[in-house]
Copies of this chain bind each other. A is one copy, B any other.
């Protein structure tokens, strides 16, 4: 079966996913009969591209990574200037929502997911804001449309957590959990233990691309709090906002 994919947000995570899909292309076709094309891409700083017949993924990756706009590769009879227009005109049946997280409201990601589900797409997101601020609404909307609202990579990335509970332990009841759920602060603390200053350790994490220029989301505990909120909301059926999580940063 052929799938048309739209990428809303095309940062590090989304581009790694695009590369992974290209690398797995042959295996997906051989083992699952799945082929795909990317028909829409929305970026924060590098423009928008739509082509219902398929965009050149390699070219899109190259343009963004060399700091250029992807608008040049679009091939559509209308001008496309917003993420919502990419969703509306991409003819995609699967939307990946990977725009930056908004801890307070989950927007505009929730808007993107809503638009895609309403257009009959299945949705997968790495955006934690959609889970803690829109879980019930978006899950109900997906169900009403007979589609899926998926968010596996919001917590623990490559380690399946939500799908393991959903598919492999459906009757289990989660009572508590503990663990390290923010890699950046974990690395910072380990490097400080080994003798670096807080500032040196933060710079190291920024250097390897896992901490933002403004590292507050990680070092003030917001990322960990929103992940705890997502786990409680979904796996413990207890709606929780990051603001309600008892939070201690590591600024010292």
> Residues of A at under 8 Å CB distance from B?
24, 27-28, 31-32, 152, 160, 163-164, 167-171, 173
Residue A168 contacts which of B32, B160, B171, B173 (CB distance < 8 angstroms)?
A: B160
CB-CB under 8 A from A170, the residues of chain B are 32
A160 CA / B170 CA spacing, docked (Å): 11
A151 CA / B57 CA spacing, docked (Å): 40
A170 CA / B160 CA spacing, docked (Å): 11
Give 8 A-B pairs besides A24-B171, A163-B167 with Cβ atoms closer than 8 angstroms: A28-B171, A32-B171, A152-B168, A160-B164, A160-B169, A164-B167, A164-B168, A167-B167
Min CB distance, A5 to chain B, in Å?
15
CB-CB under 8 A from A168, the residues of chain B are 152, 160, 163-164, 167-168
Min CB distance, A204 to chain B, in Å?
29
Min CB distance, A3 to chain B, in Å?
13
A170's closest neighbor in chain B, by CB?
B32
A32's closest neighbor in chain B, by CB?
B170
A34's closest neighbor in chain B, by CB?
B171
CB-CB under 8 A from A160, the residues of chain B are 164, 168-169
Min CB distance, A226 to chain B, in Å?
22
Min CB distance, A220 to chain B, in Å?
31
CB-CB under 8 A from A32, the residues of chain B are 170-171
19 pairs of residues in contact across A and B, judged by CB atoms under 8 Å: A24-B171, A27-B171, A27-B173, A28-B171, A31-B171, A32-B170, A32-B171, A152-B168, A160-B164, A160-B168, A160-B169, A163-B167, A163-B168, A164-B164, A164-B167, A164-B168, A167-B167, A167-B168, A168-B168
CB-CB under 8 A from A163, the residues of chain B are 167-168
CB-CB under 8 A from A167, the residues of chain B are 163-164, 167-168
Going nearest first, the 9 A-B pairs with the smallest beta carbon separation are A167-B167, A160-B168, A163-B168, A164-B168, A164-B164, A24-B171, A160-B169, A160-B164, A167-B168
A170 CA / B164 CA spacing, docked (Å): 12
Interface centre among A28, A31, A169, A173 (most CB of B within 10 A): A169
CB-CB under 8 A from A171, the residues of chain B are 24, 27-28, 31-32
Min CB distance, A233 to chain B, in Å?
17
A173's closest neighbor in chain B, by CB?
B27
A31 CA / B173 CA spacing, docked (Å): 12
A96 CA / B170 CA spacing, docked (Å): 18
Min CB distance, A174 to chain B, in Å?
13
